[in-house]
């Protein structure tokens, strides 16, 4: 009898609990519907922002992967905003506080565990929006140089002049200096040479300046520079500097190649000598005693 009474009491308490939940659900139903509508609204807002951002990034970011990941991040952020607003409408403020606290702790743990990876990822985002480094630019870091082939969220891919590819972490570019030869279209290069002590130095200077001006166009604010640099053991050194069109390293090599050939041919025509070191090696006379086989037999 007592067992039946306890069972009926348990059933009644369960029904009372379910009845209370039903009443709470009916009271919260408008808020629940409002939260669903807010999530749907923010979903379409997030999609619209994603599409707009992708169109904008097409003109500002050359790397396709950066365009996609940036648009996805914006999409997720807008959805999260809608989710938090929905929780607030439902009156789940305590749950919202717990979710934010948990997200903060989880984010801190992930950040500490993936410190290097996140550094490269952040560097990739920074590099993708920098106008100082673009696809096909020729750049040089502390220990490697080449053409920018690809920029990802983890690294920059460089194609060297020998067609080998080098993978450089993004943090190397963000934390350290690098040289971009493709930003400016004009660069100044130097060519060095030597002339003999018997040469007319003023004639050498005038001739080199004329050669360079005639074969390499200089802008109004540019000029050919000439400097004698040193008294060598057997010659006098000089250096000439001039401007060329240069966005690739090959243009520098071509210009220096052309200038050296021109200087040498004109020096030969004008009788100006480019000396080279001469070494005189003297061997002392050595005396060798040579004996025939007959002599050796007689001695034996």
Tally Cβ neighbours within 10 Å of residue 87. Answer: 19
Coil, helix or strand at residue 111: helix
Which residue ranges in the chain fall short of pLDDT 50?
1, 110, 112-116, 287-288, 290-300
The per-residue pLDDT for 291 is 47
| Per-residue pLDDT at 296 | 47
- What's the CA angle centered on 128, arms 124 and 130, to 5 degrees? 115
> In the chain, what are the domains?
2-113 (1.10.287), 132-180 (2.30.30.60), 186-270 (3.30.70.100)
CA distance 231 to 237: 7
Cross-strand partners of 231: 236
pLDDT value at residue 294: 47
Cα-Cα-Cα-Cα torsion 178, 183, 184, 190, nearest 10 degrees, comes to 30
Position 86 scores a pLDDT of: 80
What pLDDT shows up at residue 297?
Answer: 46
pLDDT tens readout for residues 37-70: 888 888 899 889 888 888 887 777 666 656 767 7
C-beta neighbour count of 127 within 10 angstroms = 23
pLDDT of residue 290: 46
146 in Cβ contact with 166 (< 8 Å):
yes
Is residue 181 within a helix (H) or strand (E), and if so which, with residue range? none
pLDDT of 126: 60
Q: How far apart are CA 92 and CA 46, in angstroms?
A: 23
pTM for the full model?
Answer: 0.55
| Cβ-based neighbours of 262, under 8 Å, separated by 6 or more | 211, 215
Q: What is the pLDDT of residues 75-128, one digit of tens each?
A: 888 888 888 788 777 766 665 566 556 656 555 554 544 444 555 555 556 665
């Amino acid at each position: 009898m007592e067992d039946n009474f306890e069972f009926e009491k348990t059933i009644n308490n369960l029904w009372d609990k379910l009845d209370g939940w039903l009443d709470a659900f009916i009271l919260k139903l408008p808020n629940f519907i409002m939260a669903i509508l807010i999530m749907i609204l923010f979903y379409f807002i997030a999609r619209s922002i994603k599409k707009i951002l992708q169109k904008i990034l097409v003109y500002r970011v050359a790397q396709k992967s950066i365009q996609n990941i940036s648009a996805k991040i914006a999409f997720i952020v807008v959805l999260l905003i809608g989710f938090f607003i929905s929780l607030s409408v439902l009156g789940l403020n305590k749950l919202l506080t717990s979710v934010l606290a948990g997200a903060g702790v989880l984010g801190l743990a992930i950040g500490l565990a993936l410190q290097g990876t996140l550094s490269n990822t952040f560097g990739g985002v920074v590099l993708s929006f920098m106008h100082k480094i673009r696809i096909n630019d020729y750049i040089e870091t502390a220990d490697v140089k080449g053409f920018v082939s690809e920029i990802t969220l983890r690294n920059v891919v460089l194609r060297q002049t020998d067609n080998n590819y080098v993978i450089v972490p993004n943090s190397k570019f963000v934390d350290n200096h690098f040289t971009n030869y493709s930003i400016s279209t004009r660069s100044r290069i130097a060519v060095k040479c030597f002339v003999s002590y018997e040469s007319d130095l003023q004639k050498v200077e005038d001739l080199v300046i004329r050669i360079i001006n005639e074969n390499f166009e200089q802008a109004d604010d540019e000029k050919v520079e000439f400097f004698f640099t040193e008294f060598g053991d057997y010659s006098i050194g000089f250096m000439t500097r001039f401007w060329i069109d240069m966005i690739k390293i090959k243009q520098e090599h071509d210009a220096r190649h052309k200038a050296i050939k021109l200087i040498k041919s004109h020096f030969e025509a004008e009788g100006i000598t480019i000396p080279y070191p001469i070494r005189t090696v003297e061997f002392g006379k050595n005396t060798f005693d040579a004996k025939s086989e007959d002599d050796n037999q007689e001695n034996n």
